[in-house]
Amino acid sequence: MSELLAVGRYEFRMQARKRSLWLTMLILATVIALFQGPAGPRYLPADATAPEVMAGWALLFGIVLPLGFGMVLADRLVRDRRLGTAALLESLPVRPGLLLAGKYLGGLAATALPVLLLMVVAGGYEAVHRADPLMLGWAVLAFAVVMLPGLAFVAGFALTCPLAISAPLFRVFFVGYWFWGNMLTPDLMPTLTGTLLTPIGDYPASWLSGGLALFAGTPGWLSFLRPEPGAGSALLSIALLVLFGLLPLLVANTVLSRRRHAA
């Protein structure tokens, strides 16, 4: 456990010092906040509840921030291999699986940190704007249930997929997937939008806001993944996103172990 924490802490400190991470998140959040349009959380009526407002902000940031999140993590393991540090790290008295898990947890925590801070800033703005200090607490909660599971899901794929298809190709497919699997309406074509496996956080946001956030539960492809939005389906969505985010790590660890044994 202490080894996992050590690797995670090292990865966190390394990633959190990356200037491009902070700049990217700041620029993307500023642009989407400024151009959110009349349907955005800033324009919700004055009597809107705190969970509704902050779920709206989490969903708004969730449209673009995971893109930057995926771009940052896409080069993490590839770079280790290119610079030759992967072999050096494998020679350490730490199990490779533990090393990968530490990188995942540390990378996820560091890359999600700017997202959390941006949610706190949005919560602070709403606390002043709507004279409700509880907005700050709901901002943190909305980050934890709406955004974090989706980020954990993205992190698993962003860390491992570039090992197989290269970072540039992953970035192209990731952007295409993000649009197809989160924002494309289910009546247009078969899509994962509106299912429990939507990393934008449609189900948890619908649960917090008490209404339909985007397309959660809208009839469409894979109907068994489209239950009615509510507390139970939101928790199921969170659990599924976290579990599915771990799958690529398990596959990558198995493949890399076999390669090491074969070498």
Instruction: Summarize as ranges the residues that interact with another protein (CB under 8 A).
Output: 18-21, 23-24, 27-28, 31-32, 35, 37, 63-64, 67-68, 71-72, 74-75, 78-79, 82, 162, 166-169, 171-176, 178-180, 183, 188-190, 221
Q: Which residues of 223-252 are buried (b: 16+ CB within 10 A; e: fewer)?
A: eebbbebeeebbeebbebbeebbeebbeeb
Tell me how far, at minimum, the Cβ of 136 lies from another protein, in Å: 27
Q: Which is nearer to another protein, 24 or 253 (CB)?
A: 24
Tell me how far, at minimum, the Cβ of 90 lies from another protein, in Å: 19
Tell me how far, at minimum, the Cβ of 74 lies from another protein, in Å: 8
Q: Which is nearer to another protein, 125 or 177 (CB)?
A: 177
Written as one string, the DSSP assignment of 79-142 is: HHHHTTHHHHHHTSSS-HHHHHHHHHHHHHHHHHHHHHHHHHHHHHHHHHHTT-THHHHHHHHH
Instruction: Give the whole-angstrom CA distance, residue 97 versus residue 95.
Output: 5
Q: Which is nearer to another protein, 4 or 63 (CB)?
A: 63
Cβ pair 159, 69 in contact under 8 A: no
Tell me how far, at minimum, the Cβ of 200 lies from another protein, in Å: 12
Q: Which is nearer to another protein, 143 or 178 (CB)?
A: 178
Tell me how far, at minimum, the Cβ of 89 lies from another protein, in Å: 16
194 half-sphere exposure, CB direction, 13 A CA radius: 23
